[in-house]
Structure formats: structure tokens, C-alpha cells
Structure 1
Amino acid sequence: MSSPTAKRYEVPTGSATTSTNAPWLQTYYFLRAGFSIVWVLLALTVGQHLPVLAMALLVIYPGWDAVANYLDARQSGGLRRNPSQMLNVLASGIVTLAIAAALNFGMHAVLGVFGVWAGLSGLLQLATGVRRWKTHGAQWPMVLSGAQSTLAGVLFIQRATSPHLPAITDIAPYAAVGAFYFLVSGVSMVVADLRRRRKASA
């Protein structure tokens, strides 16, 4: 989940990221928020009644995360310049396959895999937010989102070992919180950009 309040758009000398990256980040955050909102709605409605769709949603979620991180890294100088996102792409891709396999062993196994992924991806997202803070201003929504994801991962692992039978509805709140942080990130960038333009025209 990453989000800037874009106090400034300058980047250090030698960086491949330029000021043109700011519009992409706005689009990226809104795109990720939109996907998560749709995912949550499907999970809480038809996903509860159609097991096949629920299984597909569980596989799609980390798969989309891998694709989204790849697209963002490519727009931000490439995977080599964004090691935390490169690791996120690899981790999410592996977890997509792991969840597909875990579905054969039941939802406890799925939730356990999801928990490990949520914890790891949260730490990587937090690292991305801290790194971007230097070039795009305050990244507090993404830092908070990363921390929340890490905590959620721990809770998922605990639930995976409990007698309670997990369901896709146990993961939906996690996705909803992620959508919120991405939305806040996008709105923050838009507001910061408007303020910057007003100062420039004053």
C-alpha cells in the first residue's frame, strides 16, 4: 500500500525520477484505491456465496499487488532503483502461486500464507514510503499503511492457527484499510499540488 503529500517535486542529482513522476503517483494511488474498493465489495457480496469467485479473488489480490508494484517501479526509474518494490514484486508473485496451492489445503493454510505476505509486504511498503519521503514530501499514509499491514499479517497468522474457520470476509477489512490509505495518498497529492500552483501564481 504508498502515499505522498508531495511538499516538493525536486529529486536528488543523479536520480532517474523527475518531477513528471508526481502525476503518475497520483494516478497510481487512485488506481490502487479503486481496485481495492471493488475487491472488497465483491468479497463481501458475491464472494461469500460463490466459493469459486472467492478463491479467484484470493489469488488475484497478491497478483495485482505484484503487477502494481512493477508498474510503479517502472515509472519511477526501474526495479534496480527501487529495491523495496523489486522485492515486493517477487514476494507478491510467489505468494500468488502459494495461495493458489494453499487453497487445496483449506482456508487456514490460505490465511497463514496471506499473513506472511501481509507482514512482509507491509515492511517493504514502509521502506518505500520512507525512501520516497525525501523526494516527494510526507509519505505518512504509506508509512502508516505499511505498519498496519505488518500488524495485520501477525493477526492473520494467529487466526490461521485458531479453531475459527477463516473466510474471505476476514481479509476484506485489511483490503478496505489499504484502499483508505491509497485514497488519502492520492487526495493528499492533489491538494499539495493545488497549493503549490497557487503559491506559484501568487
Structure 2
Amino acid sequence: MSTHTAIPSAPAAGERSSLLRLYLGRGILAVAWALAFAGAHEDLDALAVTLLVVYPLIDAVSSAIDHRALPHGSQRKVTALNGLLSTLAAIALAIAGASGVAPVLHVFGAWAVVSGAAQVIVGVRRRGPELGKQWPTLISGGLSFLVGITYNIQAAGDNPSLDVLSVYATGGGVWFILQALLLGWKSRQLRATTA
């Protein structure tokens, strides 16, 4: 029985490092956005609409950065599609912001469903010895999908509210930060086995 330990390839180590920075930055921005939006959404004014547009744009930029770092394949296509859909969501939120809370919640909910599904697909394809089990990414994507459906139900109700969006962003940010921490732990673990 061989006791040889496989040495992680440079591309895999580079992808881990890139993802760690991306997830950490994405998580911190999401929490910062949640704090800003919590204090600005009582009136659906220019500031609130601007913040609504910014949130999916953060996701679009993150997808573009991730897309550049990925090798060719279906994972790259899903990431590119998610970036495109996030950009379209930003445009749709700018338009919906002029029509009131319910349309905004409908658009945000639809985007949460699509981006959550994309996150789950990418998380499943990234699972493995180099990038870990991806549980925070999978849980976050699954919750985004389910919460998006809930937002559309709320939007059709009598008293739709945008309060839930700060909670959504905070939760997403925490999951991204947790995934970054797990990737950091995975990198240290792999370095220790090859030392």
C-alpha cells in the first residue's frame, strides 16, 4: 500500500486562493450592503433604489471575476450566465423601484431563485479534495432559491415589505465568509500534508 501523498497542483492552489479572496470580499460587501439598506429602505427613494441596483451588480462583478479564474467547462458557463442574469436583475430593479415595493420584491425574489440555483450547481461541481465539500455554498444557494419563492408569495400579499432583503443579504454574506474560512482551513490542511 502506497503512502505517497498527492501534492496539490499549482492551478488548484491558485483557484483556492482566488476563491478565498472572492468569497471573503463578497461576504463582507453583502453584510455592509445589508447594514446600509436596513437604514435606507423605509422610503423607496433614490438612495434605496440605488442600493437595490448595487446588490445584484456586486454578484455580477463577482461572477465575472470567478469566470476569469475558472478553467473551460460547464461550471464556467453557469458562472457567466449567473453574471448576465444578475446584471439584468439590476436593470429590472431600477425599473421596478419606480413602481413600488411589490414589484421590487417580485424582481428580487425571481433573481434570488435563479442565482441560488446557479450557486448550487457551481457548488456541486466544485466539490472535491482540492476545494472541499462546499457546504456553505450549497446551503446558501439552496436557501436563496427557497427564499426567492417566499418573496414572490409575499409580494402578492397585502403588506409586502423590503425589510426581508437586509436579512437575505446578511445571511448570504455570512455563508460566503464561512466558505472563505473553510477554504483557508483546507489550504492549511493540504499544505500540512505535503510538508
Superposition TM-score, scaled by structure 1 size? 0.85
RMSD over aligned CA atoms reads 2.1
Is 1:183 matched up with 2:147? no
Structure-2 separation of matches of 1:152 and 1:176: 13
> Is the partner of 1:136 in helix, strand or coil?
coil
Is 1:155 matched up with 2:150? yes
Deviations 1:140-186 (A, max 9, x none): 1111111000001011000110111422x221111111011101101
Structure-1 separation of matches of 2:75 and 2:151: 31
Which residue in the other structure is 1:3 paired with?
none
Cα displacement (A) at 1:199: 2.6
Which residue in the other structure is 1:28 paired with?
22
For residues 96-135 of structure 1, what are the structure 2 equivalents within 5 Å? 96-134=90-128
Structure-1 separation of matches of 2:121 and 2:155: 27
Q: Is the CA contact (8 Å cut-off) linking 1:80 and 1:86 kept in structure 2?
A: no
Deviations 1:84-137 (A, max 9, x none): 111101111111111111112111001001111100110011000001114522
Cα displacement (A) at 1:83: 1.3
Equivalent residue letter for 2:124: V
Q: Is the CA contact (8 Å cut-off) linking 2:75 and 2:122 kept in structure 1?
A: no
For residues 5-154 of structure 1, what are the structure 2 equivalents within 5 Å? 9=8, 18-48=12-42, 51-77=45-71, 82-134=76-128, 136-154=131-149
Superposition TM-score, scaled by structure 2 size? 0.88
Q: Is the CA contact (8 Å cut-off) linking 1:32 and 1:179 kept in structure 2?
A: yes
Gaps of 5+ in 2: 1-6
| Cα 1:34/1:79, change in 2 over 3 Å | farther
Structure-2 separation of matches of 1:111 and 1:9: 44
Structure-2 separation of matches of 1:58 and 1:50: 10
Structure-2 separation of matches of 1:9 and 1:37: 33
Q: Is the CA contact (8 Å cut-off) linking 2:61 and 2:83 kept in structure 1?
A: yes
Equivalent residue letter for 1:137: G
Q: Is the CA contact (8 Å cut-off) linking 2:75 and 2:125 kept in structure 1?
A: no
Structure-2 separation of matches of 1:98 and 1:79: 29
Larger mean CA deviation between 115-124 and 39-48 belongs to 39-48
Structure-1 separation of matches of 2:151 and 2:8: 37
Aligned residues: 188
Equivalent residue letter for 2:150: L
Q: Is the CA contact (8 Å cut-off) linking 2:16 and 2:187 kept in structure 1?
A: no
